[in-house]
Amino acid sequence: MRYAQITGWGKYAPPLLMTNDDMAKIVDTSDEWIFSRSGIRQRHYSHISTGDMGWMAAEQALAAAGVEADDIDLIVLGSTTPEEICPNTASYIMNKLGATKAAAFDLNSACTSWFYALNAATDMIRAASINRALVIGSERISLAMDWQKRESCFLFGDGAGAVVIEASAEETGLIASKMSCVPDSRECLRLPGWGLSPTHLTEDYFISLDFEGQEIFKSAVKGMFEAIADVLEKQHLTAEDIDLFIPHQANIRIIQTLAKRLNFPMEKVVVAIDEYANTSAASIPLALCDALQEGRVKPGMRILTATFGAGLTCGAGIVKWGDRVEPIATSDKSVAPYEGTVFDLMADSFVHYGIDAKHLLSKG
């Protein structure tokens, strides 16, 4: 049997932070409200593109795996916020890496994109059509924040995470998986105008998220619970057999509700939402990288993951970890720093939504 072992991992967390207190300077909210309703303390906002963030995470993942870019057969970028629809952003990352022998495509299923991408690449390795793939989740979702909508603008952050997966005879990598899409739930989470629908084509490229928080909350818990039940059953396991749970990071209360329904202790759950907020397709690989860095991933562990996103797409998987939990090497690639503050970075967006933030800008 062929499996697709995760042998490398890497992340890029943009250096500029938008804390809850910063957010309260722009919209009518508070650190207390945001943290108690969502578990978020801050989010990272990026001055570089989705492609460059994905490239930085991919360089780290390649170094961690000890693999050369030339040895990669496939690059899949999971993202809701590619720079362009055509050409795809995965081919940009391919060129930056010098992965000249790789095929490259983007995959968009919203926040589940990285997980869906992991499924696609794992199955290609298991079918022996490829041997090595880079699976990246990268999002610059700060560009879609609508500062008139205090109910959603605090929820999201930017970032990227990536893994290298390689053919292996050992039963490792994504060993069980369920992907689903909740029927008739497309309207509760949307980015209208983010595409080529002629009714939405205007001169104005600012996009605004449409959102029904409580509806999503309920569907997310149900969809992930059912997907988890499916993968546990496929492997003849119960929640007690799981060593670590890395869920999509959208709201701490969603994670806690799910853990409670599974009767799963929160000590075994990786929580990164306080640090990054919801980074959409990047959320699970970012949390995985942090769990590895903190020594929470041990050789041979069974890791459960579960996710949901616009669509509403859902999924769950069981990853069997290999022997190595330390990176073979680290990458020294870097990007030019941003010379302003997080408010300077978002200045155009504030102007667009009629937010008076001049007093917050470093140049007045």
Ligand X SMILES: CC(C)(COP(=O)(O)OP(=O)(O)OC[C@H]1O[C@@H](n2cnc3c(N)ncnc32)[C@H](O)[C@@H]1OP(=O)(O)O)[C@@H](O)C(=O)NCCC(=O)NCCS
Q: By CB under 6 A, name the binding residues for ligand X.
A: 29, 33, 37-38, 111, 150-151, 154-155, 189, 213-214, 216-217, 250-251, 278, 309
Q: How far is the CB of 123 from ligand X (least distance, A)?
A: 24
**At residue 116, what are phi and psi to the nearest 5 degrees?**
-60, -40
DSSP 269-314: B---HHHH-B-GGGHHHHHHHHHHHTT---TT-EEEEEEEEGGGEE
Residue nearest to ligand X (CB): 213
Toward ligand X, which CB reaches closer, 29 or 122?
29
Q: How far is the CB of 309 from ligand X (least distance, A)?
A: 5
User: Which amino acids are annotated catalytic?
Assistant: 111, 248, 278
User: Which residue do the tokens 């650190």 mark?
Assistant: 31
- What are the Cα distances from residue 6, in Å, to 134, 159, 167, 260? 10, 20, 9, 29
Q: How far is the CB of 362 from ligand X (least distance, A)?
A: 25
- How far apart (Å, rounded) are the C-alpha atoms in residues 114 and 82? 13
Whether residue 80 contacts residue 310, with contact meaning beta carbons closer than 8 Å, is answered with yes
Closest CA relative to residue 321, chosen from 8, 102, 81: 8
Q: DSSP state, 268?
A: G
Toward ligand X, which CB reaches closer, 193 or 213?
213
Q: How far is the CB of 281 from ligand X (least distance, A)?
A: 10
Q: How far is the CB of 78 from ligand X (least distance, A)?
A: 13
- How far apart (Å, rounded) are the C-alpha atoms in residues 279 and 270? 15
Toward ligand X, which CB reaches closer, 29 or 42?
29
Toward ligand X, which CB reaches closer, 111 or 228?
111
Burial (Cβ within 10 Å: 0-12, 13-18, ≥19) of residue 139? buried
Q: How far is the CB of 284 from ligand X (least distance, A)?
A: 12
Toward ligand X, which CB reaches closer, 61 or 277?
277
Q: What amino acid occupies position 327?
A: P
What is the distance in angstroms between the CA of the first residue and the CA of the last residue of the chain?
Answer: 63
Q: Report the SS3 class of residue 102.
A: coil
- How far apart (Å, rounded) are the C-alpha atoms in residues 139 and 195? 16
Whether residue 291 contacts residue 246, with contact meaning beta carbons closer than 8 Å, is answered with yes
Toward ligand X, which CB reaches closer, 170 or 187?
187
Q: How far is the CB of 301 from ligand X (least distance, A)?
A: 26
Toward ligand X, which CB reaches closer, 80 or 168?
80
- Quote the Cα angle for 349-354-360, to 5°: 65
**At residue 128, what are phi and psi to the nearest 5 degrees?**
70, 20
Structure tokens at 169: 């005879």
Burial (Cβ within 10 Å: 0-12, 13-18, ≥19) of residue 348? exposed
